[in-house]
Chains A and B, each alone.
Chain A
Amino acid sequence: MDVDTRSSVDNELDEDILAEFVMEWSDHVQNAEAALLDLERDPLGHDELDAVFRAFHSIKGGAAFLHQDDLRSLAHRAEGFLDRARSQEIHIVGPNATLALRALDAVRWFTDALRENPSRHDRPDGFEDLLAALSPANFAPGDREEVVVDGEAAPPRKARSDDGTARSVKRDVVGGVGAAGGGNVVRGDPSSDTSTEADSPTVSRAVARPGKSLSHGVAKGPPAAKESNPTIHVRADRLDRLINTIGEVVITQSIINQHIVRRNGVDPVLTGHLSSLGRLTRELHDLSLSMRMVPLHNTFRKMARLVRDLSRKSGKRVDFIAEGEDTEIDRTLVEHIDDPLIHMIRNAIDHGVEPAEERRMAGKPEEGTVRLCAYHADGYVVFELEDDGRGIDHGRVLEKARELGLVDARTTLSPAETIRLLFAPGFSTAGEVTDVSGRGVGMDVVRNNVELMHGSIDIDSHAGRGTCVQIRIPLTLAMMDGLIVKVGREQFVIPTESVEHVLRPGANTVSTVHGRDEMICFRGSYVPVYRLGKLLGISTRQTDATQGLLVVVSPGRDRCALLADGLVGKRQLVVKSPGEALRGVDGFSGVAILDDGRVGIILDPSGLLRLADYRFNGSPDDVAGNPGMEMRGKVDAR
């Protein structure tokens, strides 16, 4: 078309160039998706429409340059389709928005496929249908309906004379980054296309927020520049190497410090230099850690899209409010947060938000609201997902739990205890299994995912008023605060986040049960004491608990006191990936490098509790002889 293919590269194409284009296309897809979701809320938004158009245009140019013919014709058709929207022939809401999103999904399919294998030439499923749907042949000129808002017909704009496909827009192949402005409210409105999804490409109804002017001239203003600082793409492996190396510098620095203090005593000049070096390395380290942090934009976009699709599928109108998409989180964690969020959003829309009629009867607005927000608090990223749906029916949860034999018929539970039942494996209250959720797997998986990130999850729900789920995960897994304790000749790290209290037991603090199991009274309740030496099979000479140190930990809802021989100190530690070395060994969550450069094993309090359960209640396999020298968990914390 408008890109001169004669000057393009031969079939013998450079994979680096392709990789660069693919990366760019992914950016375009993301930006265009955000713009499309905005556009659906405000179908007359010029900037958004232009952004989507530009994205497809740039993709088309790049695809032609690289001889990706399928992708080129897809982008070309999509461009033509959007051009009809630019000329007011159609509006991008309802089925048209779905179609545009499908086109974006197809582009995403191509980018993913090309990233995997640059020379592949297959097509996504339903590609021909998609091309046909986008094709101008599907749109007879007279087939146009007017946009009706609040009962009034919007003045149709004069259609452009061209047909949108022959129009040549001269732009740089790589130009035109579709900037999607800060709009973060997406409205999914299933009523506009529940029945006409496939066959009626034109708009029958558009929804606009009351009070919003519809005239095109109204300045929406250019999308606010989110980042005043330019960014560059850096290869992830290089960044990882840099960050690792800086981590090493920090460790080496502390080893040198220790050594010099031990050898030379106090040398004021050297101490001065060392402390300024220490300050610099600390700064360098903080800087390197900040390079791992990425904003949550992509996650939020995915969720906005999910809400849209789910609201359509379920026929429930849902207003999605997103706050805090600029909140930053460690790059290695961002991909792990998606699954729990997706699950919670599915739950909110499937189980939470009621059908419109039920809502009306309950005196609620017909349109449900799902709010996702993220913010930083005390070294954690907190996600809150709130809906104004029917809330969790405690009675029904209890009933189901009894059915499943999780609790016996006479037990009475507090509301908080009842909600915890939701996290039991296989628990689901969904009346029937739907495509959306309710297969009985879920909340336990969500909790496991969150715990793998060393995070926690809480649910607060009021029947009739809605549910709020709070997920807290640490900002980064690269560093952690840990308590270093001694057990025999070994040292172990206990994550500070799970430590409630540290105490040296007095003579009468520890009581025994059957002369064997030990307990202490802590804050008014009895807590089991587990000797780390015994649990881990390490011989310590210590037999008297009063000579040791009790660390009260509370992983999840359980609480126990771990008896160690002594405390070495509290440190901020660089966490390392143990690779294969710890897989399958219960009780450890990973490794960190200690001050002296040795590897320190990080204890996993909930794993230790499981160990203790086996040990005291008996277990089919021999705990002490667990030979699996392999790493458990999926989150790779380097």
Chain B
Amino acid sequence: MTPSSIRAAFEGIFSGGKILTFHLGRERYGLPILSVREIVGMIPITHVPRTPAYLLGMVNLRGAVVPVVDTRRRFGMPARDADEKTCIVVLDIGDSGVGIVVDRVTDVTDIAADQIEAVPVPESTDGRTQFVVAIAHDGDDMLMLLDMDEVITGARREAASCTGENG
């Protein structure tokens, strides 16, 4: 899936569908299940020197070299040591995919269109809310639906604008 088709998946998110949910600390986030390639436990990550801190490095996933993003750092949340619940969610981006590290994968839930509302939080400067496109009411829980295009390729755009190159 290309980043733009990922975006399409997110734009379609307002009509609901199957959402993979995961936790970062006590916060619950969601991604359309169609944008997820696979979920693996923590495996050794090779750090790439001289890259931004939220890029954790690369993993060998059955022969494919997959870059991995630290979601906590990306969202400006405090770092946390990996435990047995820590997972890498591999998103369907590019040939090899892109992994994001999450505290734990929670479940897959059906969200209907009327459970979803556009994000009420204004664009803020803490670097976090810009990644949330919508909020879903799942029972009493608040589920933040993420714009992974922004998390991954937005990151790349920033990088590109820093070095003056185009991604």
Which positions 577-591 of chain A face chain B at CB distance < 8 Å? 577-588, 591
When A585-B48, A629-B52 are in contact, do A591 and B65 touch as well, CB less than 8 Å? yes
Of all chain B residues, which has the CB nearest A579? B96
The interface size of chain B toward A, counting residues with CB under 8 Å, comes to 32
Judged by a CB distance under 8 angstroms, whether B2 is at the interface is no
Decide yes or no whether B27 CB sits under 8 A from chain A.
no
In the complex, B167 has a CB within 8 A of chain A: yes
From B49, B94, B165, give the contact of A580 (CB < 8 A).
B94
Measured in the bound complex, the distance between the Cα atoms of B160 and A598 in whole Å is 27
Q: Are B48 and A576 in contact (CB under 8 A)?
A: no
In A593-620, the 8 Å CB interface with B consists of 593, 596-601
- Asked if A623 is an interface residue, CB under 8 A from chain B, the answer is yes
Q: Of residues 132 to 164 in B, which have CB atoms within 8 Å of A's CB atoms?
A: 155-156, 158-160, 162-164
A626 in contact with B60 (CB, 8 Å):
no
The complex places the Cα of A576 from the Cα of B67 at a distance, in Å, of 13
Report Cα–Cα, A584/B55, bound state, in Å: 14
Q: List residues of chain B with CB within 8 A of the CB of A601.
A: 46, 48-49
Is the C-beta of A627 less than 8 angstroms from some C-beta in chain B?
yes
A338 at interface by CB-CB < 8 Å: no
Closest to B53 in A: A627
B159 / chain A contacts, CB cutoff of 8 Å: 584, 627-630
Verify if B26 is at the interface (C-beta below 8 Å from A): no
Report if A490 contacts B (CB, 8 A). yes
User: In the complex, A245 Cα to B59 Cα: how many Å?
Assistant: 17
Give residues 238-277 of A contacting B (CB, 8 Å): 244-245, 247-248, 251
Q: How far is the CB of A22 from chain B (nearest CB, A)?
A: 25
* A599-B60, A627-B52 as given contacts; A584 in contact with B67, CB under 8 Å: no
> A58 to B64, alpha carbons, bound, how many Å?
43
How distant is the Cα of A625 from the Cα of B50 in the complex, in angstroms? 6
Find out whether the CB atom of B50 lies under 8 angstroms from the CB atom of A591.
Answer: no
Q: Is the CB of B59 within 8 A of A624?
A: no
A567 contacts partner chain B, Cβ-Cβ < 8 Å: no
**CB < 8 Å: which of B57, B94, B165 contacts A628?**
B165
Contact of A629 among B60, B62, B156 (CB under 8 A): B156
Interface contact A630-B156, CB-CB below 8 Å: yes
Cβ of B14 to closest chain A Cβ, rounded Å:
29
Is B63 at the interface (CB under 8 A from chain A)? yes
B58 — which chain A residues lie within 8 A by C-beta?
578, 581, 591, 599
- Cβ-based interface call for A537 (8 A): yes
Name the residue among B47, B48, B50, B159 with the largest chain A CB count within 10 angstroms: B50
Query: Contacts A585-B51, A628-B165, A630-B156: A244 and B44 contacting too (C-beta < 8 A)?
Result: no
Q: What's the nearest-Cβ distance from chain B to residue A579, in Å? A: 4
Q: In whole Å, how far is A538's beta carbon from the nearest beta carbon of chain B?
A: 6
Q: Which residues of B lie under 8 Å from residue A577 when comparing CB positions?
A: 65, 96
A129 within 8 Å of B (CB atoms): no
A621 located at the interface, meaning its Cβ lies under 8 Å from any Cβ of chain B in the complex: yes
Within 8 Å of chain B (Cβ to Cβ): is A536?
Answer: yes
Query: In the assembled complex, which residues on chain B have CB atoms less than 8 Å from the CB atom of A538?
Result: 49
| B163 pairs with A582, CB closer than 8 A | no
The residue on A at minimum CB distance from B163 is A628
Which residues from chain B contact A630 at a C-beta distance below 8 Å? 156, 159-160, 167
B95 at interface by CB-CB < 8 Å: yes
Contact (A248, B44) CB under 8 Å given A579-B94, A585-B51, A626-B163 = no
Q: Which residues of A contact B167 (CB under 8 A)?
A: 583, 630
Q: Is the CB–CB distance between B55 and A536 below 8 Å?
A: no
Beyond A584-B159, A626-B51, A627-B162, whether A248 also contacts B62 by CB under 8 A is yes
| A533-553 near B? 1/0 per residue, CB < 8 Å | 000111000000000000000
A625 proximity list for chain B (CB < 8 A): 50, 162
Interface contact B156-A576, CB-CB below 8 Å = no
Return the chain A residue nearest B167 by Cβ.
Answer: A630
Asked whether B59 lies within 8 Å of A584 as measured between CB atoms, the reply is no
How many angstroms between the C-alpha atoms of A587 and B51 in the bound complex? 12
Query: In the complex the two chains form, what is the Cα distance from A306 to B87 in whole Å?
Result: 56
User: How many Å lie between the Cα of A630 and that of B51 in the bound state?
Assistant: 10
Chain B residue numbers with a CB within 8 Å of A586 are 50
Q: Are A627 and B96 in contact (CB under 8 A)?
A: no
Q: Looking across the interface, which residue of chain B has its beta carbon closest to that of A593?
A: B60
Bound complex: CA A579 to CA B59 (Å)? 12
Q: Contact at B59–A599, with CB atoms within 8 Å?
A: yes
- Given the interface contacts A536-B50, A627-B158, does A584 sit within 8 Å of B44 by beta carbon? no
Question: Of A244, A245, A587, which one neighbours B50 at CB under 8 angstroms?
Answer: A587
Of the listed residues B60, B162, B165, the one surrounded by the most CB atoms of chain A closer than 10 A to its CB is: B60
In the bound complex, CA of A630 to CA of B62 (Å): 21
Contact B163 A627 (CB under 8 A): yes
Q: Given A581-B58, A599-B58, A630-B167, is A244 in contact with B46 using a C-beta cutoff of 8 Å?
A: no
Contacts of A576 in B (CB 8 A): 60, 63-65
Q: What chain B residues lie within 8 Å of A251 (beta carbons)?
A: 60, 63
Please measure, in the bound complex, the distance between the C-alpha atom of A624 and the C-alpha atom of B51, giving whole angstroms: 8
Q: How far is the CB of A556 from chain B (nearest CB, A)?
A: 22
Known: A537-B49, A584-B165, A591-B58. A579 touches B160 (CB 8 A): no
Write the chain A residue with the least CB distance to B61.
Answer: A599
Which residues of A lie under 8 Å from residue B160 when comparing CB positions?
584, 628, 630
**A581 contact from B48, B49, B163, B165, Cβ within 8 A:** B48
Within the complex, the shortest CB–CB distance from B29 to chain A, in Å, comes to: 22
Q: A244-B63, A538-B49, A591-B65 given as contacts; is B55 within 8 A of A629 (CB)?
A: yes
**A579 touching B63, Cβ below 8 Å:** no
A599 touches B94 (CB 8 A): no
**A626 and B49 alpha carbons, distance in the complex (Å):** 9
Contact residues of A with B, CB < 8 Å? 244-245, 247-248, 251, 490, 536-538, 576-588, 591, 593, 596-601, 621, 623-630
User: What are 12 A-B pairs at a CB distance below 8 A?
Assistant: A248-B62, A490-B49, A537-B49, A576-B65, A577-B96, A579-B65, A581-B65, A585-B51, A591-B46, A591-B65, A597-B44, A625-B162
The 6 closest A-B pairs by CB, nearest first: A536-B49, A581-B67, A599-B46, A627-B159, A627-B52, A248-B63
Beyond A578-B65, A579-B66, A629-B156, list 19 extra A-B contacts (CB 8 Å).
A576-B65, A579-B94, A579-B96, A580-B94, A581-B65, A581-B96, A583-B167, A584-B163, A585-B51, A587-B50, A591-B46, A593-B60, A599-B58, A599-B59, A624-B50, A626-B51, A628-B51, A629-B159, A630-B167
